Amino acid sequence: MSVLSLARGVRDYMDGRVRSKDLDIPWWAPLLSAAGIAAVVVVAVLQREAAGPYVLAGMLVVVPSVSMFFIPNDSEWLKYHMWVIDLVPTLIGSAWLMSEPATAFWGQHDFAPGVLVPLTLEMVVREGFRTGTFYAIVSTLVMWGFAADSPSGIGMHLLLLVVAWILGLLILAQMRALRAERLAREQEHSRATEAERTRIAREIHDLVGHSLSITLLHLTAARRSVAEGDDPDETVAALTEAETVGRRAMAEIRRTIGVLSASGSGTSPLPTATDVIRLVEEGRSAGQSITFSTTGDLSEVDTSIGLGVYRILQESLANAIRHAPGAPVSVSLAVDEGVRLSVRNPLVGPRRSAGEGSGLAGMAARAEQLRGRLSAGADDTDGSMWKVDLVIPPHCLVRKALA
């Protein structure tokens, strides 16, 4: 095994251990902490004249601090209560080391009180504010009780302990901020994904509903022509037109999915306000009587608003063909400072309110996205007409000339 592969193995192992403990820190941070604690403990042990008995004290400090590397991940309780393992042993080991003055070398700089400094930092980061603060307070008491006779004085060690506690709180706050940011990004991604799926579904619903309505009209005309023994050419023409509409619908479905998908593989633009003329002609060719009037320049309407107007008219015509086949439909589209679309057709049989059905709900959602107002329902005068009105205020209309 090469050194590089060994290093990668250690990195992957430590990264997994850190993630299993819900710690948002680099994989090397626990190794650095353990190495720092071990180095301070080794120096503190060697500073004792009779170092042998204090090796056990050093082990009481070092072993629990590296226990997170080996505790099984399936221990859910220990995952959030690791302080139980190293709280008492590390404090006892540190007190044991401080109970003997440093006389072997560097007596004026005893490392034994300094053992509690990295331990406090690690405890705050790993266990949180409450447990970390409790550990810092107990460490202060231990240091005050056992290191008071240190030649270097207790003041510097207490200052370092406070600095370690503050630094641990800063790292803890940063970890929580990163975790909150990551959660916010995941939620935003989920919302965006769901919105994109809804948008694609709405586009496909409107497109398929309209295309099927036109196709069914042609098929109905062909069936009647065959049943009544009319001219075969009329039957063939109706079937050919139904086939053309179906093929056009399949092409537009592919185009719509391509444009709306993340890959952006679509090459043809989506329909705009100028395409409503073609939409009306398709309905007329299927035998539906449609009166169409327009005022203003449709090409001035922004593409996103034009697509919404197109889809709302498409769904309105599909509903009219589905519920009142052959009945006259009146369509008017006005473009001035704003946009106003009006669709009227006779009311045949019971109709749903604007809040029912996926088609009407889709139209309402589109109008809301355009910051416009949509009303759909029976005419209030005598209830014999079904009306759809879309109004987009002037301040929502973005013209190409201003782009």
User: What string of DSSP letters covers 339-375?
Assistant: EEEEEEEE--S----TTSSHHHHHHHHHHHHTT-EEE
Q: Predicted confidence band at 355 (pLDDT cuts at 50, 70, 90)?
A: very low
pLDDT in tens, 278-316: 888 888 877 788 899 999 888 888 888 888 888 888 888
The one-letter code for the residue type at 357 is G
pTM here is 0.52
Predicted local distance difference test score (pLDDT) of residue 255: 63
Q: Residue 338 domain-assigned?
A: yes
Predicted local distance difference test score (pLDDT) of residue 403: 40
| Kind plus residue range of the DSSP H or E element containing 187 | helix 155-227
pLDDT over 50 (residue 399): no
The one-letter code for the residue type at 329 is V
Choice among 169-178, 305-314, 358-367 with the minimum mean pLDDT: 358-367
Predicted local distance difference test score (pLDDT) of residue 330: 92
| Spatial distance between the Cα atoms of 314 and 252, rounded to a whole number of angstroms | 13
pLDDT in tens, 16-35: 777 777 778 888 888 888 88
With vertex at residue 36, the alpha carbon angle to CA 33 and CA 37, rounded to the nearest 5 degrees, is 85
Interval 99-122 mean pLDDT: 85
Q: Predicted confidence band at 350 (pLDDT cuts at 50, 70, 90)?
A: low
Order of all β-strands in the sheet with 339-346? 290-295, 329-335, 339-346, 385-392, 373-378
Distances from the Cα of 151 to the Cα of 92, 156, 185, 255, angstroms: 21, 11, 53, 81
Q: Residue 190 domain-assigned?
A: no
Q: Predicted confidence band at 264 (pLDDT cuts at 50, 70, 90)?
A: very low
pLDDT in tens, 131-140: 899 999 999 9
Q: Residue 224 domain-assigned?
A: no
* Domain end among 153, 179, 199: 153
* Domain end among 153, 179, 195: 153
Burial class (CB in 10 A: 0-12, 13-18, 19+), 52: exposed
pLDDT over 90 (residue 153): no
Q: Are residues 8 and 145 in the same domain?
A: yes
pLDDT over 50 (residue 40): yes
* Closest to 81 measured CA to CA, from 71, 91, 70: 71
Predicted local distance difference test score (pLDDT) of residue 401: 40
| Spatial distance between the Cα atoms of 331 and 313, rounded to a whole number of angstroms | 9
Q: Residue 26 domain-assigned?
A: yes
Q: Are residues 148 and 13 in the same domain?
A: yes
DSSP-derived secondary structure letter, 103: -
| Spatial distance between the Cα atoms of 21 and 75, rounded to a whole number of angstroms | 10
For the chain, the domain total comes to 2
Q: Residue 63 domain-assigned?
A: yes
* Domain end among 153, 173, 200: 153
Q: Predicted confidence band at 354 (pLDDT cuts at 50, 70, 90)?
A: very low
* Closest to 134 measured CA to CA, from 126, 146, 123: 123
Mean pLDDT over all residues of the chain? 79
Q: Are the C-beta atoms of 60 and 67 separated by less than 8 Å?
A: no
Distances from the Cα of 318 to the Cα of 25, 56, 98, 357, angstroms: 57, 85, 87, 13
Q: Residue 266 domain-assigned?
A: no
**What angle do helix axes 155-227 and 303-323 make, rounded to 10 degrees?**
40
| Spatial distance between the Cα atoms of 344 and 316, rounded to a whole number of angstroms | 9
Q: Are the C-beta atoms of 317 and 388 separated by less than 8 Å?
A: no
Domain extent at residue 121: 3-153
| Spatial distance between the Cα atoms of 161 and 136, rounded to a whole number of angstroms | 7
DSSP-derived secondary structure letter, 292: E
Q: Residue 209 domain-assigned?
A: no
Q: Residue 120 domain-assigned?
A: yes
Between 345 and 18, the higher pLDDT residue: 345
| Spatial distance between the Cα atoms of 22 and 34, rounded to a whole number of angstroms | 18
What CATH code is carried by the domain that includes residue 309? Answer: 3.30.565.10
DSSP-derived secondary structure letter, 327: S
